[in-house]
Amino acid sequence: MTSQTPVFEARSVSKSFGPVVALTDVSVSLYAGEVHSIIGENGAGKSTLMNLICGKLAPTSGQLYVDGQPVRFGTPKDAQAHGIAIAPQEINLVPNLTVAENIMLGAHAGNVAAIDWRRTRSEAARHLHQVDHTIDPSMRVRELSKAQQQLVQIARAAATEARILIFDEPTATLTYREEETLLAYIETLAQEGRSAFYISHRLDEVRRLSHRITALRDGAHVGELTPEQATREAMVTLMAGRPPKAGAQPIRDITTRETVLEVQGLSRDHEFEDVSFNLRKGEILGVSGLVGSGRTEMAKCIFGATKADKGGLTFRGEKTVFKSPLEAIQAGLIYLPEERKQEGIFPLLSIAENTALPTLERFGGLLHIRNREMIAEVEDLAKRMKAKFNSLTDPITSLSGGNQQKFIIARWLMRDAHVLIMDEPTRGIDVNAKFEIQAVLRKLTEERGLSIIVISSEMEELLDVADRILVMHEGRVKGVVDRAETTQEGLLQLAMT
Amino acid sequence: MERTMDTAEMTDTPNIRTRRKKTLVQRFWAWEASGVLVALAVLFTLLAFATDNFLSAYNVSVVMRQAAFVGLVALGQTLVLLVGGIDLSVGAAAGLSSIVGALALTQWGIHPYLVIPFTMAFGFFLGAVNGFFVAGLRLNPFIVTLATWEIFAGLTLVITKGYPIRPLGEQFQIFGKGEILGLPVPVVIFFATAIVLMWMLSQTRFGRNIFAVGGNRDAAILAGIRANRVEFLAFGLAGMLSALAGILFASRMDAGQPSVGEGWLMGAITAAILGGTSLRGGQGSIVGTVLGALLLAVLANGTVLMNVSGFWQRVIVGGVVLVAILVDLLRRRG
């Protein structure tokens, strides 16, 4: 493999945005039939590098080569002309168009005067079937789930017939089965002689797929591994610059504690049915299930964002149903949505304002907001949660994903919260920050008696942090198990019976 | 393990996320122009019974002609809205173009039959000015076209000093006053334009790219679509269609009047919105806009026929828009 010319090469590329250096002197290459993984923590420069390769950004210095020839990409279209396509991490589809049209976007079959719809549709279906068999190509993208949209996006990259494909975190939203299909598909691509850059936080996937693994840290190339060298420990050490912290939180006994929230027979048409469970004071309850299992819908319903058809709650000894999120928040039950960017943060506001927003009235003076007090309180919480930041008056977008998440949690600690429901709290957050957040959650349950429900599609995470795990499948509760008494296989089996 | 999962998925009750077959009624309501069609039908029936002359040939042609001028402008506005922009200068562009067209005819000796394409080209240029700032320099369309609105309207007054340019001559009046198969020429041009645009939006790459750019600009760029070119052309076409409406109106009046196009902006946006076009881009249809323009014309006509004071007309139009938005809200929640 090494004797031939790489199909793609980046030599000493750097990229800065004004004074901020995102990438320094990075060189990577890709051979025909190779899957080359790029690993690194958030902010390590992976996405910047991929954006240079797909033509979305231009390097500040350095040179790109395709088949040994120097190239310069002004736009993604130029990169596509050289056979490079990307399936980006963020969902980037046109919601009002059909699946088929999204896949063939900008590449409809036909001539200038008229599109050949039949061929456009059949080609779209062919590409889609390589990664998924359940999605109807005539549906509109806005009707699909997040995971399905991710698959459509991957099919679109494949549809370009590109020789070089970039997969940026393709499995972050996928469930076990979808992930299997996708990984198998990428393996087929490589066997056909096409090549791929692969980015993922899931290190077992990286090890399985890759022919080579390159690690980035703080915008610099810090090492290259063969799949044989790439133990979990070796990869994390390269990415973080230090060995990984311990994973699982110790097992504890919570059976004697009082119940703070009891859910009784909660149902909502087409979403979930007859959900019952209880949550104890200071407990972390994990909710496991595939996409479409009704876990998020259930959480939103408890929170009062949607109306239950049947059933109710007992919250701190009182029978109730929250009619709106405001009621739930005032009672001390908080829901943190999965889509941090869309539903969780206010990108134009500072870290302090983002944190204190729901409690601003506490800092209201006669004519102004008592900023100094507000910042002092946010700072105190930030320290306890070990959040990293320059200044609390910086915009929240200056933080990494993990740190943003800490401040969003802090937001609700500023008022008296009793129950926190977190939907995918560590999705897209790097390994060490993930462990830190888990430790913070544990600490909160112990110090403040907070009860937490963690919804996650990563069973490993639940097995690290939850006291008990509730398994949902197709809208129903399949069982609740103690963490000490189960394994990943056990959870899967429970879901399927 | 993997095998068990597969079989479990297949033998289980159908997944709650799978799509249910929609009935014809559901599909009708899912169509964005369904509301305006129902409103038009109701109003039509009402007026047909309540008045003697609503369905007379003369009145129908009056209504359609009224719809045609604002309708042409609304078609251009629809393209701009679909691509995620807005064009506040359409009325002023219609006015300025019609004046320039009138000058071309009376002062520069351009042949009457060539005046229409000449004016449309000039209108495209005016739209292209908007397109240059919005698509080329990525400035906010609301602000850019607010400025060009003033500029176009101001230039009209500078050129005419407030006086109409007339007469335009016998030969030229055929465009505004003539008939083809019993239909006024502007109406024929309006419907023909609508059909061409429907084809363009549904069957050509440029048309689909308009939806893609308006629906998700980043995704369109990543798919290799030149988003700023698509936006630029949408603004150009909007200017062109405004100019067409302006010069047809001048032909009908036999005069290039500085006041042409005043009031067309609101009519154009209203028609598009009534027809289900979203102000956020990426959603809407030509059929909807045509129906919207017809609805506005029927409303105006109906108030006259029912002897409602002309002053009430705007109140009624505003009310209809609010009702349309409420219906749309119910439709999407439904």
Per the structure, the count of domains in chain A is 2
Mean pLDDT score, A411-429: 83
* pLDDT < 70 positions in chain B: 1-22, 331-334
Contact B1 A143 (CB under 8 A): no
Q: Are residues A233 and A304 in the same domain?
A: no
CB-closest option in B1, B204, B283 to A113: B204
Q: Are residues A91 and A233 in the same domain?
A: yes
Respond yes or no on whether the N-terminal peptide bond of residue B167 is cis (omega within 30° of 0): yes
Please say which residue of A240, A275, A301 terminates a domain. Answer: A240
Collapsing DSSP to helix, strand or coil, B219 comes out as helix
Q: Give the gyration radius of chain A's Cα atoms.
A: 24
pLDDT band at A495 (very low <50, low <70, confident <90, very high): confident
Asked whether the beta carbons of A181 and A174 are under 8 A apart, the reply is no
CA dist list (Å): A13 to A28, A36, A70, A71, A73? 9, 17, 13, 13, 13
Residues of A near B (CB-CB distance < 8 A)? 54, 56, 75-77, 80, 86, 88, 92-97, 101-102, 105-108, 110, 112-115, 117, 134, 136, 139, 143, 145, 156, 176-177, 180, 270-271, 292, 294, 474-475, 489, 492-493, 496
Most B CBs within 10 Å, among A93, A105, A112, A309, to test the B interface? A105
Per-residue confidence (pLDDT) for residue A365, from 0 to 100: 67
Q: Are residues A273 and A230 in the same domain?
A: no
Q: Is A252 part of a structural domain of the chain?
A: no
Contacts 24+ apart (CB under 8 A), A353-359: A354/A396, A354/A407, A354/A408, A354/A411, A355/A381, A355/A392, A355/A407, A355/A408, A355/A410, A355/A411, A355/A414, A356/A411, A356/A414, A357/A411, A358/A329, A358/A411, A358/A412, A358/A414, A358/A415, A359/A411, A359/A414, A359/A415
The dihedrals phi and psi of B37, each to the nearest 5 degrees, come to: -65, -45
Asked whether the beta carbons of B65 and B184 are under 8 A apart, the reply is yes
Q: Is A249 part of a structural domain of the chain?
A: no
Q: Are residues A180 and A66 in the same domain?
A: yes
Q: Which residues of A touch B216 (CB under 8 A)?
A: 92-95
Q: Is A246 part of a structural domain of the chain?
A: no
Contact A86 B222 (CB under 8 A): yes
Sheet with A259-268, side-by-side order of all strands: A272-280, A259-268, A310-315, A318-320
CA dist list (Å): B188 to B31, B49, B151, B185, B280? 26, 27, 31, 5, 31
As a whole-number percent, the residues of chain A with pLDDT over 70 amount to 95
Task: Determine the angle formed by the axes of helices B264-274 and B286-305, rounding to 10 degrees.
Answer: 120
Residue of A483, A451, A470, A471 lying closest to A261 (CA atoms)? A451
Contact A492 B1 (CB under 8 A): yes
Q: Are residues A171 and A58 in the same domain?
A: yes
Residues of B near A (CB-CB distance < 8 A)? 1-2, 4-6, 8-9, 12-13, 15-19, 203-205, 208-209, 211-212, 215-216, 218-226, 282-283
- d(CA A220, CA A201) in angstroms, rounded, equals 18
Q: Any idea which residue has 């590109």 for tokens?
A: A162
pLDDT value at A163 more than 60: yes
- d(CA A414, CA A420) in angstroms, rounded, equals 13
- d(CA A343, CA A325) in angstroms, rounded, equals 13
As a whole-number percent, the residues of chain A with pLDDT over 90 amount to 21
Contact A474 B16 (CB under 8 A): yes
DSSP A245: P
Q: Are residues A213 and A171 in the same domain?
A: yes
Contact B224 A106 (CB under 8 A): yes
Q: Are residues A222 and A290 in the same domain?
A: no
Most A CBs within 10 Å, among B26, B222, B278, to test the A interface? B222
Please say which residue of A179, A212, A240 terminates a domain. Answer: A240
Q: Are residues A177 and A285 in the same domain?
A: no
Residue of A171, A291, A492, A289 lying closest to B1 (CA atoms)? A492
CA dist list (Å): B32 to A48, B197, B282? 40, 17, 12
Give the model confidence (pLDDT) of A447-469 as tens digits: 888 999 999 877 778 888 899 99
The whole domain housing A356 covers 259-496
Per-residue confidence (pLDDT) for residue A107, from 0 to 100: 76
Asked whether the beta carbons of A351 and A399 are under 8 A apart, the reply is yes
Per-residue confidence (pLDDT) for residue B10, from 0 to 100: 36
Those residues whose C-beta lies under 8 Å from the C-beta of residue A372, and which sit 6 or more positions away, are: none
Q: Are residues A227 and A300 in the same domain?
A: no
CB-closest option in A94, A177, A492 to B212: A94
Contact A95 B225 (CB under 8 A): no
Domains of chain B by range and CATH?
Answer: 67-333 (1.10.3470)
Q: How far is A167 from chain B (nearest CA, A)?
A: 14
Q: Which residues of A touch B212 (CB under 8 A)?
A: 94, 97, 105-106
Per-residue confidence (pLDDT) for residue A20, from 0 to 100: 74
Four-point Cα dihedral B199, B202, B207, B212, nearest 10? 170
Give the model confidence (pLDDT) of A197-207 as tens digits: 999 877 888 88
Q: Which residues of B touch A492 (CB under 8 A)?
A: 1, 5
- d(CA A334, CA A321) in angstroms, rounded, equals 14
Per-residue confidence (pLDDT) for residue B268, from 0 to 100: 93
Q: Is A247 part of a structural domain of the chain?
A: no
Those residues whose C-beta lies under 8 Å from the C-beta of residue A102, and which sit 6 or more positions away, are: A93, A94, A141, A152, A156, B219
Q: Is A465 part of a structural domain of the chain?
A: yes
Chain B's closest residue to A137, CA to CA, is B19
Max mean pLDDT among A95-109, A151-165, B82-96, B196-210 falls in B82-96
Chain A's closest residue to B219, CA to CA, is A92
Chain B's closest residue to A148, CA to CA, is B17
Q: Are residues A199 and A320 in the same domain?
A: no
Q: Are residues A266 and A200 in the same domain?
A: no
**E strand intervals along chain B:** 179-180, 183-184
Chain B's closest residue to A268, CA to CA, is B16
The amino acid occupying position B235 is F
Strands A333-336 and B179-180: unpaired
What CATH number should be reported for the domain holding residue A270? Answer: 3.40.50.300
The amino acid occupying position A386 is K
Q: Are residues A47 and A124 in the same domain?
A: yes
Which of the pair, A245 or B297, is modelled with greater confidence? B297
Give the model confidence (pLDDT) of A42-87 as tens digits: 678 888 899 999 888 899 999 999 998 999 988 888 888 899 988 8
